[in-house]
Amino acid sequence: MIDTEKSSEIAFAESAQDHVQFDRLQQLLRELAMFGGRDDGGVSREALTDIDLQARRFLIDKARSLGCEVRIDDCANLFFRRRGLSDLPPVLTGSHADTQPVGGKLDGAYGVVGGLEVIAALNDAGIETQRAIEVVAWTNEEGCRFGPGAMGSSAFVDPRRLTEYRKSMDATGMSFGDAVDLALKAVADVPRRPMAEQMSACVELHIEQGPVLERAQVPLGVVSGIQSVRWYQLHLTGSAGHAGTMPMEERTDAMAAAVGLAHQFYDYRVRHATDTLRLTLGRWQVSPNSINTIPGSVTFTVDVRSVDEQVLAQFESAMNDMIRDYNWAGSIAVENLFARPPTLFPDTMLAVIEQACERACTKALLAPPMRLTSGAFHDAMYLADQCPTAMIFVPSKGGISHNAAEETDPRELFLGVQALAYAVTILANLPLEK
């Protein structure tokens, strides 16, 4: 029953929150995790692979069974729309359905599935919202098969970026553009929608992927912002040679140079950087990658993050100096792959998220939510350029993510979707402006 004493927006939001179903949420998470499911409990569903396309078809069918209109844009971003009473800009939620090469069941998937559960709860509650609500599955958030990350949301907000993105190649030489065209062909039954359509607000539900909430024993996080990130790729070219015959001092060994530089980067972090700098040298390619050939070339990636963008700027300048001064006979080329400044979510949105989380936590007799900055980047960092945006976090067990062991307590997953249902319903019923 709707409590008419309260404002109708709040009454609807509470009703939506109270119609979220634990079992239905768990079931949909399990079903989506089967696409690329691994024996170790993880998920391997990289962007626009066949398994990702199969998962997309599953989500399309699911969304249609909930009465949603499904559309797709030129970057293969999938939108599941629940009509509103007006044709004002919709409220957007959702996340990404692609995973790391060895990812978990929840990174991204939880936000897409949580959005669909909110639609199901609104249907059960018989609530009609003023604004439409759209659940999105963004293309290629992870950026591991095709770099950079968050391509779908980035291109949605600024379609000019898509031309460059389409040229990005995966390890087999396939371009992102060709992969997108195949993905669009696979869903020829899904109408196209223009990119950059104005949204009225965006809320992304995601696992924290770090240890903060769990250590604080707090079940829900109100995300105040996202730290800055920069990605580079270093190409070192020396000369291949025989591992047994070539004297050490006559070698131009690309691996020796790469390891030497890597050591200098780690030392820099210890000697100069504040502890806010996080450095990851995650992907290495060696050629010819033979046990008894001196590596002729080595390519490795650098991922740096900090809440303070100045720290990243200082690292970049130091990195370029170290590369320039590195003493060897070979060459080193640097490719800038990605750079995003810190994202701050507006107080007006944080207030809505706080209210949504507080009601869910109070009803569950759990600790109130806390504010925190996201260590991981998310599609919300681009949506924040287009409309008032915010995020809700749930804890990650052991702070583990980008790992098959990624896990969150099902009761916390349920609480997160309850908070999302409340927030999205409030936003979809806010007094109507233009």
- Judged by the rule CB under 6 A, the positions of this chain that interact with ligand HGY are 141-142, 149, 376-377
- Give the nearer residue to ligand HGY in terms of CB position, either 60 or 213: 213
The bridge status of strand 343-344 relative to strand 370-374 is unpaired
**Within 10 A of 8 (CB to CB), how many other CB atoms are there?**
11
Q: How many residues lie near Mn ion (CB under 5 A)?
A: 2
CB of 139 to ligand HGY, least distance (A): 13
CB of 111 to ligand HGY, least distance (A): 12
- Give the nearer residue to Mn ion in terms of CB position, either 315 or 377: 377
CB of 93 to ligand HGY, least distance (A): 18
253 contact, one of ligand HGY, Mn ion, none, CB 5-8 Å limit per kind: none
Distance CA 24, CA 28 (A): 6
Residue of 107, 170, 214, 303 that binds Mn ion (CB under 5 A): 107
CB of 277 to Mn ion, least distance (A): 20
377 contact, one of ligand HGY, Mn ion, none, CB 5-8 Å limit per kind: ligand HGY
- Give the nearer residue to ligand HGY in terms of CB position, either 352 or 376: 376
The 3-state DSSP composition of the chain as helix, strand, coil percent (nearest 5) reads 40, 20, 40
- Give the nearer residue to ligand HGY in terms of CB position, either 229 or 419: 229
108 binds Mn ion, rule: CB under 5 A: yes
Kindly give, in sequence order, each residue whose CB lies less than 8 Å from that of residue 247, ignoring residues fewer than 6 positions away. none
Distance CA 418, CA 125 (A): 13
CA count, 13 A, side-chain hemisphere, 213:
33
382 contact, one of ligand HGY, Mn ion, none, CB 5-8 Å limit per kind: none
Evaluated on CA atoms 99, 370, 92, 163, the torsion sign reads negative
CB of 204 to ligand HGY, least distance (A): 12
CB 208 within 8 A of CB 391: no
Q: Which stretch binds Mn ion (CB under 5 A): 104-112, 322-330, 335-343, 421-429?
A: 104-112
- Give the nearer residue to ligand HGY in terms of CB position, either 46 or 134: 46
Q: Using alpha carbons, list the distances in angstroms from residue 177 to 76, 137, 139, 156.
A: 10, 18, 12, 15
Q: Using alpha carbons, list the distances in angstroms from residue 132 to 71, 87, 200, 263, 330.
A: 14, 7, 10, 52, 58
412 contact, one of Mn ion, ligand HGY, none, CB 5-8 Å limit per kind: none
What token pair was written down for 333?
Answer: 């080329």
Distance CA 418, CA 25 (A): 11
406 binds Mn ion, rule: CB under 5 A: no
CB of 402 to ligand HGY, least distance (A): 7
CB of 335 to ligand HGY, least distance (A): 18
- Give the residue closest to ligand HGY by C-beta: 376
- Give the nearer residue to Mn ion in terms of CB position, either 89 or 210: 210
DSSP letter (8 states) at residue 16 = H
Distance CA 26, CA 194 (A): 33
CB of 301 to ligand HGY, least distance (A): 12
111 binds Mn ion, rule: CB under 5 A: no
| Binding-site ranges for Mn ion (CB under 5 A) | 107-108
